């Protein structure tokens, strides 16, 4: 029977259910599950778009006299009545990620391994995809000593270079796959946070920007310089966001990860503590778009401030050279953009840094006592307002705004666009 756990697991997540999935994964019908434990796999603030659980199992097989142990990760939707479930379903995130793990990632993994000749793991192996329940079970990468870096400390240069290298491999393989299998990204890969089909995040984005505006009352200088601009942005955030993700003729396009930040990357380390590999996880918001949106999002949410404010052009250059190297190894049939053209494309998508810096990063760095959830971002209730105000009233966020607002403003990103 299932042991008592600290997570309110779905009613369908039973011993019989897990046993059937493991029998299929291990291709062994003799497998019998003896013990099942289910615990949360993420902490508060680490995940706003799904429920992650760690499944601990003890099982027997006919070929082994001793009990075997195993650990797997389960990713599923919020409860049906949760506002987040309704919002995210409109974006197609659950079906998209299942499609990616079943139909896309196996191709990309093989291309990177066989043609780019990079034998390092790029993604977690999939144990099972259950479309009826919008659920994916993965291998637990912690068993291979993979772990997530601290979302509060951010990533240093070594971690950043490693992520950019692996991202370039991922982007290049996706771009080439689109040429080899025309139409593979035509269905349901056009609904990122900003798109022309649904604006489910609109109220959340507006609510958070309004909370940012209120927080500027505590800093006279920032209030005088930026409050009016933030107030104007409240009404334009979705229009500007859609414009920043519109595909233009001649753009270099890839399968962008779409939600590339600290907790969606896992690292493996050597004996000296140096990162040796990075695994990309969580593909719910993957879109067919410019790779620049991944770069802006990643730089704005996940790298240390010195890199973020002073070294973005050279980080783009580092990524670009890794991208070109991978495209050439994959024999990409189209024209590869020059570094100059790519930097222009990066600049043209710069508004992506605005919502990443002013909305997402403060939520990602939240350490307060209020419940942190998409529902709280949407809600007009006192609880929702308290949560949003507490996000921007935190000392470490107020300090970040002292740098983030001038940085964005100097690029013209807070003006009418």
Q: Which pair of tokens denotes residue 148?
A: 């997530």
Low-confidence residues in the chain, pLDDT < 50: 1-6, 44-48
Using alpha carbons, select from 408, 406, 214 the residue that is nearest to residue 417.
408
CA distance 162 to 121: 13
User: Among all chains, which residue has been given the structure tokens 């570094």?
Assistant: 339
What are the structural domain ranges in the chain?
Answer: 15-76, 84-123+146-410
CA distance 346 to 160: 17
CA distance 295 to 315: 9
Q: What is the pLDDT of residue 87?
A: 76
Using alpha carbons, select from 11, 48, 12 the residue that is nearest to residue 375.
48
Q: What is the pLDDT of residue 1?
A: 31
Q: What's the topology of domain 84-123+146-410?
A: Aminoglycoside 3'-phosphotransferase; Chain: A, domain 2 (3.90.1200)
Q: What is the pLDDT of residue 164?
A: 98
Mean pLDDT of the chain: 91
Instruction: Give 386: exposed, middle or buried? Use CB within 10 Å, 0-12, 13-18, 19+.
Output: middle
pTM: 0.90
Strands 265-269 and 287-289: unpaired
CA distance 7 to 38: 7
Backbone angles phi, psi at 369, to 5 degrees: -95, -15
CA distance 332 to 326: 9
Distances from the Cα of 113 to the Cα of 70, 110, 149, 235, 273, angstroms: 27, 5, 25, 46, 25
| pLDDT, tens digit (0-9, with 9 covering 90-100), for 69-128 | 999 999 887 555 566 667 777 888 888 999 999 899 999 999 999 999 999 999 998 899
The length of the chain in residues reads: 417
| pLDDT, tens digit (0-9, with 9 covering 90-100), for 122-158 | 999 889 999 888 889 989 998 899 999 999 999 999 9
Each residue of 136-167: b (16+ CB within 10 Å) or e? Answer: bbbbbbeeeebebbebeebbeeebbbbbbbbb
Number of neighbours of residue 335 by Cβ within 10 angstroms: 9
CA distance 330 to 58: 42
> For residue 304, how many C-alpha atoms fall within 13 Å in the half-sphere facing its CB?
12
CA distance 181 to 47: 33
CA distance 155 to 175: 27
What is the helix (H) or strand (E) element at residue 364, kind and residue range?
A: helix 361-364
């Amino acid at each position: 029977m299932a042991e008592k756990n600290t997570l309110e697991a779905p009613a369908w997540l039973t011993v019989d259910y897990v046993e059937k999935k493991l029998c299929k994964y291990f291709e062994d019908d003799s497998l019998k599950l003896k013990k099942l434990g289910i615990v949360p796999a993420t902490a508060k603030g680490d995940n706003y778009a799904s429920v992650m659980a760690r499944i601990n199992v003890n099982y027997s097989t006919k070929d082994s006299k001793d009990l075997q142990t195993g650990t797997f990760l389960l990713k599923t939707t919020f409860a049906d009545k949760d506002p987040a479930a309704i919002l995210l379903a409109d974006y197609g995130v659950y079906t998209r990620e299942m499609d990616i793990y079943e139909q896309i990632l196996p191709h990309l993994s093989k291309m990177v391994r066989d043609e780019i000749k990079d034998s390092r793991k790029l993604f977690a192996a999939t144990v099972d995809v259950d479309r009826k329940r919008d659920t994916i079970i993965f291998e637990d990468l912690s068993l291979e000593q993979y772990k997530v870096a601290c979302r509060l400390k951010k990533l240093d240069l070594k971690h950043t270079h490693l992520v950019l290298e692996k991202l370039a491999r991922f982007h290049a393989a996706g771009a080439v796959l689109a040429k080899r299998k025309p139409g593979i990204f035509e269905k349901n890969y056009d609904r990122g946070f900003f798109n022309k089909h649904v604006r489910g995040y609109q109220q959340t984005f507006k609510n958070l920007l309004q909370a940012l505006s209120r927080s500027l009352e505590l800093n006279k200088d920032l209030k005088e310089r930026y409050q009016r601009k933030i107030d104007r942005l409240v009404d334009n955030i979705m229009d500007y966001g859609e414009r920043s993700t519109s595909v233009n003729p001649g753009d270099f396009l890839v399968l962008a990860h779409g939600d590339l930040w600290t907790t969606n990357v896992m690292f493996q380390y050597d004996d000296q503590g140096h990162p040796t590999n990075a695994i990309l996880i969580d593909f719910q918001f993957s879109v067919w778009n410019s790779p620049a949106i991944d770069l802006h999002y990643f730089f704005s949410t996940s790298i240390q401030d010195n890199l973020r404010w002073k070294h973005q052009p050279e980080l783009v250059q580092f990524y670009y050279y890794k991208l070109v190297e991978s495209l050439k190894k994959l024999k990409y049939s189209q024209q590869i953009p020059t570094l100059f053209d790519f930097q222009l494309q990066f600049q043209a998508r710069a508004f992506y840094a605005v919502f990443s810096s002013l909305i997402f990063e403060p939520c990602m760095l939240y350490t307060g006592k209020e419940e942190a959830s998409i529902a709280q971002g949407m809600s007009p209730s006192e609880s929702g307002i308290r949560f949003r105000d507490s996000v921007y009233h935190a000392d470490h966020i107020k300090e970040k705004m002292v740098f983030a607002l001038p940085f964005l403003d100097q690029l013209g990103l807070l003006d009418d666009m």
